[in-house]
Amino acid sequence: MDSAQWRPRFRFGQAFTAPAPMDDGEGEAPRRLARILEDLPAEVVECFSGCGSPIPEAIGGRRLLDLGCGTGRDAFLCANLAGPGGFVMGLDREPELLAVARRNVEEAMARFGHPEPNVAFRQGLIEDLAAAELEDEGFDVVISNRALNLVPRKLAVLQEVHRVLKPGGEFYFADVYTDRRLPEEIGSDPEVLREQLGGALYVGDLVRMARRAGFADPRIVSRNPLTLADPDLHARLGGISFWAVTFRLFKIPGLEDGDEDYGQAARYLGTIPGCAHHFCLDAENCFETGRAVRIGGNSDQILRISRFAPHFEILGDRSRHFGPFARTVS
Ligand SMILES: C[S@@+](CC[C@H](N)C(=O)[O-])C[C@H]1O[C@@H](n2cnc3c(N)ncnc32)[C@H](O)[C@@H]1O
């Protein structure tokens, strides 16, 4: 099947105004991604149908997995950033989309200047990574862009991601969520189904599910409203709103279910490629290079144990507790 025939199925339909692919953040990191995008084969970029930009920072030499990779735009971006010493596996259930990705590997590698391909594409279901022969603790980072909401067994996906991540690893993913649970008649509304939004999860339920899968402290990185353009659909939805949300989930044993205050601070060293001046761990924890910023106990663990560790100096330890961590108090 011609890849163009697949495009409309996975794009935001007329009813919604999707955020631009590089809307997550401003400044040097998006500019860096935009430059790499210019190097990608046009066919790969044209078929993109994600809802955010879950392209992780600090992935040089790392092993990544892209769940529901489609024609591979994000997988190729990550392959560039991971460099020849890193590796990216793209997984999708649709052979036609994988064929587009595969036939562009050689050209992308030539443009990147990689002597050997550091990206591969495999067919499989994201809720059953064992069947796709993906081993325990095989990846540093798992990404996904607008695939989770298409899968009924979302908890199984999160549990599988937890299994295949190395300790200290991260699931960094963007998807469509609602601000409340969808009533059944809305979830099965033909227009909502046509837009592939019927599977959108209430964001609070994603947080609970992530905790059940072993990710104790889910972090929201960005949240962009999807604006309804169809007034009839808008009226049928009542007050329900849809959001493109990017989450970070860290596989770090011992994280508490929320941040506690141990009187600690972190100083970002400005050393993450593409983030010389600032780095945001999540929407509430942004670090300007060189400035000590108060952090809670979980952020301390994330910044000490994850791949971000070499890029931070942590001030203080967890020997003394000062109560719940309140980000607004300085
Ligand atoms: C909206 S598209 C996004 C594709 C790609 N991430 C992008 O940003 O262009 C969703 C993708 O998820 C894939 N998908 C949906 N359910 C899946 C499943 N259970 N297992 C594997 N892939 C799945 C689809 O084939 C499709 O490629």
For the stretch 186-243, pLDDT in tens is 888 888 888 888 889 999 999 999 999 999 999 999 999 887 777 788 788 888 999 9
Q: Does residue 157 have its Cβ closer than 6 Å to ligand 1?
A: no
pLDDT at 55: 96
Q: Tokens in use for 308?
A: 């971000």
Q: Is the pLDDT assigned to residue 49 strictly greater than 70?
A: yes
Q: Does residue 176 have its Cβ closer than 6 Å to ligand 1?
A: no
Domain 3-250 indexed as CATH 3.40.50.150: yes
Nearest to 246 by CA among 80, 56, 103: 56
Q: Tokens in use for 210?
A: 């992530």
**Ligand 1 pocket check: which of 44, 92, 96 to mutate, most ligand atoms within 8 Å of Cβ?**
92
Per-residue pLDDT reduced to its tens digit, 64-102: 999 999 999 999 999 999 999 999 999 999 999 999 999
Q: Does residue 97 have its Cβ closer than 6 Å to ligand 1?
A: yes
Q: Does residue 127 have its Cβ closer than 6 Å to ligand 1?
A: yes
Domain boundaries, the chain: 3-250, 264-315
- Any idea which fold 264-315 has? Ribosomal Protein L9; domain 1 (3.40.5)
Per-residue pLDDT reduced to its tens digit, 290-300: 999 999 999 99
Ligand 1 midpoint to CA 62 (Å): 23
Task: Identify the weakest region by mean pLDDT among 25-34, 167-176, 197-206, 267-276.
Answer: 25-34
Q: 9 or 322, which is more confident?
A: 322
Nearest to 145 by CA among 42, 206, 66: 66
pLDDT at 27: 65
Nearest to 82 by CA among 55, 110, 42, 121: 55
Per-residue pLDDT reduced to its tens digit, 13-33: 444 444 444 444 456 777 889
Q: Is the pLDDT assigned to residue 38 strictly greater than 70?
A: yes
Instruction: Map the chain to HEC letters.
Output: CCHHHHHHHHCCCCCEECCCCCCCCCCHHHHHHHHHHHHCCHHHHHCCCCCCCCCCCCCCCCEEEEECCCCCHHHHHHHHHHCCCCEEEEEECCHHHHHHHHHCHHHHHHHHCCCCCCEEEEECCCCCCCCCCCCCCCEEEEEEECCHHHCCCHHHHHHHHHHHEEEEEEEEEEEEEECCCCCHHHHCCHHHHHCCCCCCEEHHHHHHHHHHCCCCCCEEEEEEECEECCHHHHHHHCCCCEEEEEEEEECCCCCCCCCECCCEEEEECCCCCCCCCEEEEECCEEEECCCEEEECHHHHHHHHHCCCHHHEEEECCCCCCCCECCCCCC
Confidence of residue 155 (pLDDT cuts 50, 70, 90): very high
Q: Which residue has the tokens 């649709």?
A: 94
pTM: 0.92
Indicate the average pLDDT of the chain: 90
Q: 4 or 34, which is more confident?
A: 34
Q: Does residue 145 have its Cβ closer than 6 Å to ligand 1?
A: yes
pLDDT at 1: 34
Confidence of residue 10 (pLDDT cuts 50, 70, 90): very low
Domain 3-250 matches domain 264-315 at the CATH topology level? no
Task: Identify the weakest region by mean pLDDT among 23-32, 121-130, 194-203, 302-311.
Answer: 23-32
